[in-house]
C-alpha cells in the first residue's frame, strides 16, 4: 500500500469517455489499496478557448480576472471526474487550488507555489479513504485572496508539488505519450523510450525543447526527490499491474540509475531568433547596457557569443531570444543604441537550436568535438555554441534541423536498442 499522485493532461480528459477511462486508472490504484490524489488539466483545447475569450473581451485585460477565467477549465474537469468516480462507488471529492490551499506568489498567469497545506487531504485518506481530485494549474495568493495560475503546463507543477506536500511515494504523469524518448520520434523513427532518466538530464531536455514535462515540475521533483513516472493514459487500465513497475519512464536521482550513457538524448527548438550587434566599443558596462533592458522587458536571452577584434577596441556580440520575443528584443536594443554604441544590428529568425544532453559528459572528453566533426561532414554550419557540464547546444540554420538531429542521434548510439 502506498500513496500516489496521478496527473492527467488535457488530451487524457478531452471528453466524458476519456474521463471515464481516467476513472478506471484511478480505480485500479484505489482497489490496490493506495491512497490517491488526482491532479487534472482542463479538457484539451479549453484553456486556449478561455484565453481567446479574454482577448476578445478586451485586448488589455486585468491579469487577475484573466486568471479567474482560465482557472475555470480545471474546475470543470475536477468536478466531472469526481462525479464519474462517485458513480463507480469510489469516495471522491473535487478540490480547487484555493480550497487546499495552494498558496502562491501574486504573479498572475505565472505564479510560483509558495506553500501547500496537505493535511486535510491526508486526513481524508485516513478517515474516509477518499480520493482527492484536484484542479491543477492554479492556486491562491494569501495576501489578496485572488485566484492565481501557474503558467502553461502548470498542472505538472501542481502535481509534483502536491506529491511533496502529502509525502507521496510517487507522482505519475499520464499523458498522450508513453514515456520520455531519446529525441522526438516524429523526427527520428528509431528514437527509443528511456526506462529511466536522471532529474538533471530531464531538466535540460525539458528546458531545451522537449515538451513532455514542464520545467518547474522537474525542478520540484529534484528538490524534493519525488520519483516521477511519465506514462500513457491510453494504456488499458485493466492490463496494468498496480503492484508492479509502471510502464513508462522513471525520472529519478542519478544514484538510482545503475549505468548512465554518455549522451541521454537530443533536444531541439525551432522557436529561436538570433541578434548580432557589430562593432561595439569594447569597454566596461556595455554588456549591462545590452542585457539590462532585455531583462527589464522580461525577454529571456539564451546563447551568448562574443568576438573581440584584433586591436581590442571593438567587439561583436551575438545572442538568441525566443522567436516570439524577437520583435520586442530588436526594438528594445534599437531604442538603446545610443547607450550601447553599436555600428550595425544583424538578425535572423530562420535558425534553430539543437542540444545534446547527458550526465555522462562529466567523465568523458571529446563528446562535443565528435558532434562538430559530424555536422561539418554534413555541411551544417554552426552559428553559435554554448556548453555546460552535462549539455552543449549549437545554433544552426533551421532548414538543417532534422538532419542535424538524426546525425547526432546516430553518432552517439541512441539508435541502438
The three-state secondary structure class of 311 is coil
Paired sense of beta strands 3-8 and 170-175, if any: parallel
Beta strands in 55-156 (DSSP E): 92-95, 102-104, 113-116, 131-135, 138-141, 146-149
Q: Which residues are annotated as a binding site for substrate?
A: 47, 74
Residue 272 to residue 258: CA distance in whole angstroms: 36
Q: Which residues are annotated as a binding site?
A: 7-10, 47, 74, 175-176, 181, 186, 211-212
Sheet holding 102-104: strands in order across?
A: 113-116, 102-104, 138-141, 146-149
Q: What is the DSSP letter of 43?
A: P
Residue 198 to residue 196: CA distance in whole angstroms: 7
Q: Which residues are annotated as a binding site for ATP?
A: 7-10, 175-176, 181, 186, 211-212
Paired sense of beta strands 138-141 and 35-40, if any: unpaired
Nearest residue to 39 via CA among 195, 185, 154? 154
Phi then psi dihedrals of residue 213, to 5 deg? -135, 150
Phi then psi dihedrals of residue 322, to 5 deg? -60, 140
Count CA within 13 A, CB hemisphere, residue 178. 10
Q: What is the DSSP letter of 181?
A: B
Amino acid at each position: 500500500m502506498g500513496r500516489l499522485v496521478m496527473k492527467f493532461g488535457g488530451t487524457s480528459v478531452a471528453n466524458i469517455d476519456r474521463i471515464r477511462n481516467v476513472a478506471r486508472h484511478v480505480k485500479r490504484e484505489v482497489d490496490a489499496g493506495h491512497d490517491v490524489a488526482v491532479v487534472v488539466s482542463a479538457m484539451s483545447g479549453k484553456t486556449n478557448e478561455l484565453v481567446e475569450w479574454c482577448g476578445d473581451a478586451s485586448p488589455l485585460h486585468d491579469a487577475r480576472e484573466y486568471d479567474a477565467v482560465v482557472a475555470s477549465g480545471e474546475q470543470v474537469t475536477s468536478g466531472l471526474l469526481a462525479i464519474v468516480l462517485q458513480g463507480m462507488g469510489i469516495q471522491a471529492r473535487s478540490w480547487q487550488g484555493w480550497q487546499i490551499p495552494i498558496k502562491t506568489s501574486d504573479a498572475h498567469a505565472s505564479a510560483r507555489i509558495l506553500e501547500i497545506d496537505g493535511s486535510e487531504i491526508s486526513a481524508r485518506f485516513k478517515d474516509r479513504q477518499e480520493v482527492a481530485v484536484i484542479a491543477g494549474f492554479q492556486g491562491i495568493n494569501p495576501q489578496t485572496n485572488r485566484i492565481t495560475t501557474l503558467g502553461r503546463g502548470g498542472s505538472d507543477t501542481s502535481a509534483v508539488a502536491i506529491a511533496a506536500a502529502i509525502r507521496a511515494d510517487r507522482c505519475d504523469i499520464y499523458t498522450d505519450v508513453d514515456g520520455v524518448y531519446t529525441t522526438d520520434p516524429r523526427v527520428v523513427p528509431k528514437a527509443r523510450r528511456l526506462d529511466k532518466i536522471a532529474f538533471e538530464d530531464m531538466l535540460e531536455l525539458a528546458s531545451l525543447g522537449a515538451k513532455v514535462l514542464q520545467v518547474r515540475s522537474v525542478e520540484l521533483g529534484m528538490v524534493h526527490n519525488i520519483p516521477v513516472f511519465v506514462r500513457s493514459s491510453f494504456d488499458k487500465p485493466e492490463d496494468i499491474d498496480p503492484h508492479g513497475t509502471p510502464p513508462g519512464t522513471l525520472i529519478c536521482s542519478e544514484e538510482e540509475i545503475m549505468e548512465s550513457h554518455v549522451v541521454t538524448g537530443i533536444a531541439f527548438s525551432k522557436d529561436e531568433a538570433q541578434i548580432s550587434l557589430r562593432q561595439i566599443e569594447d569597454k566596461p558596462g556595455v554588456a549591462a547596457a545590452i542585457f539590462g533592458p532585455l531583462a527589464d522587458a522580461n525577454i529571456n536571452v539564451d546563447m551568448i557569443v562574443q568576438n573581440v577584434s584584433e586591436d581590442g577596441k571593438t567587439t561583436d556580440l551575438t545572442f538568441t531570444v525566443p522567436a516570439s520575443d524577437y520583435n520586442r528584443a530588436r526594438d528594445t536594443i534599437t531604442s538603446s543604441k545610443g547607450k550601447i554604441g553599436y555600428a550595425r544590428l544583424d538578425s535572423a529568425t530562420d535558425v534553430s537550436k539543437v542540444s545534446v544532453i547527458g550526465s555522462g559528459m562529466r567523465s568523458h572528453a571529446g563528446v562535443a568535438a565528435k558532434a562538430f566533426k559530424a555536422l561539418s561532414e554534413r555541411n551544417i554550419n554552426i552559428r553559435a555554441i554554448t556548453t555546460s557540464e552535462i549539455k552543449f547546444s549549437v545554433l544552426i540554420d533551421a532548414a538543417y534541423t532534422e538532419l542535424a538531429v538524426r546525425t547526432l542521434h546516430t553518432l552517439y548510439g541512441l539508435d541502438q536498442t
